Amino acid sequence: MFSIIDIETCGGKFDYRRGRIIEISILLHDGLTVVDKFTTLINPECYISPVFIRISGITNEMVANAPRFYEVAKKTIEMTEGTIFVAHNAGFDYGFIKSEFAHLGYKYMRDTLCTVRLSRKLLPGHSSYSLGKLCGALGIPIEGRHRAEGDATATAKLFDHLIYQKSMHPQYKNQGIGEIMTRRVDKIKKYILQKLPEECGVYYFLNSEGKIIYLGKSTNMYSRALSHFNAKTPKGRKLINDLYDVDFILTGSELIGLLVESAEIKKHKPEYNRVRKTDTHTHSIDWWTDDKEIINFNIVPYGEAVNSLCSFSTYLSARECLDRWIDEYTLCIRYCGLTSDDAICFNHHIKKCNGICADEEGIEEYNLRANKLLEQHMYKNNNFLIIDKGRTTQEHSLIFIEDGHYKGYGYMDINTQVMSPEQLTESIKKSPCYPDLDDIIRGWMNGKSLKIVKVDKNG
């Protein structure tokens, strides 16, 4: 069964306040003829501008007492259930109807068939494939152009003509209409999107061998995956060509999604993630206190960081950051690993260092400035939990910071009786230690109001 649909709108794209459906016509077609139909004006709950009045002839007065979309939504679902959604330029009509349903909180999904694409395949050589010009060239009359039922009826007649042309075509006569129009990318798109929920998590694109070739995080994995199929770049199209399957994990918390994504990219090194330089860190700025109790900073290879403050994709970017800190906090380059351990630094000679390297500044005074830097780039507490959204409304997520570093995440039922913060850490799934994960958490915490629970390791 096919549902041949046409809509009239008051906007070029869906916009709740400016671009809505103002008329819809659904013709139910059994492959031979139209067996049922439904047509109605729709009150868009917004103003129809003169531009769109001139196109369709539908005025604000005509729709004032018409049903709103939510009042015809059930009828639309029932008539199109189990059918293939057919329209001339189906992406437009289907996209608008999907958006109207999405505004109501309903996920409307149908297989689609575009008579523009089908006409190009079965009727090559026409100068234009617009409904008006194509029907004119084929001798198909349109009674009521730019009205939903008039255009839907013309589309149905065009569809009948296309079915006849298919039956006579040496290449396509033994194929179903759906088979003619279905490309591999359409099949994989449908398969992938049916598996992914419109929820927060991390999704994994797999190739024919089951190897992860791309992974990403999104607050709406369905929508994010859909955007991949609209990619225009050669690399984006190649990714879709290599795509065979998808897997995902729900995180609930967007922060956990970011942490899992970053860690998983490092673990699996997917082919199509490698271009993202921010996921490849080479250096960190580390800090420590020496035997004189002086706070030191140093650029170290990423994997050697013990107390990382920030991570970087190049040595140059790490050095630029450290140089800014030296100027801003009047740090000594000797205690920033930029000169020998026993040298009086060059900055002291040009009055940019207060002389900690020449015993002309007290350690306490120097550390006061260094500690101000640390406060800007370290957690306020060394041991704590961030309580965030769970994967369902019946749970919380937990992100655990221990000894000033991210340790892992977990989930807890909201009805669990908690006797102490330390009890919460029992549900934590340990994570590999990557310095930039702390960068992600600190960046996320900046300026946000989060629920923080301190943990007493000695308690």
294 Cβ neighbours under 8 A, 6+ residues apart: 335, 356, 363, 366, 367
Read out DSSP for 209-260?
A: TS-EEEEEEESSHHHHHHHHHT--SHHHHHHHHH--EEEEEE-SSHHHHHHH
H helices within 104-233, ranges in order?
Answer: 115-122, 131-138, 148-168, 177-181, 184-195, 221-229
What whole-number distance in Å separates Cα of residue 340 and Cα of residue 290? 15
- Given the residues 146, 348, 396, 405, select the one marked as catalytic: 146
What whole-number distance in Å separates Cα of residue 217 and Cα of residue 57? 45
What whole-number distance in Å separates Cα of residue 149 and Cα of residue 157? 12
| Per-residue DSSP letter, 443 | H
What whole-number distance in Å separates Cα of residue 45 and Cα of residue 20? 8
Residue 112: helix, strand or coil by DSSP? strand
Other beta carbons within 10 Å of 39:
16
What whole-number distance in Å separates Cα of residue 448 and Cα of residue 439? 15
Residue 267: helix, strand or coil by DSSP? helix
What whole-number distance in Å separates Cα of residue 87 and Cα of residue 151? 10
Residue 394 burial class via C-beta count within 10 angstroms: exposed 0-12, middle 13-18, buried 19 and up = exposed
- CB-based contact 33:122 (threshold 8 Å): no
Q: Which two tokens stand for residue 216?
A: 């990403």
Phi, psi of 366 (to 5 degrees): -65, -45
What whole-number distance in Å separates Cα of residue 121 and Cα of residue 182? 12
Catalytic residue flag (residue 396): no
- Hey, which residues are catalytic here? 146
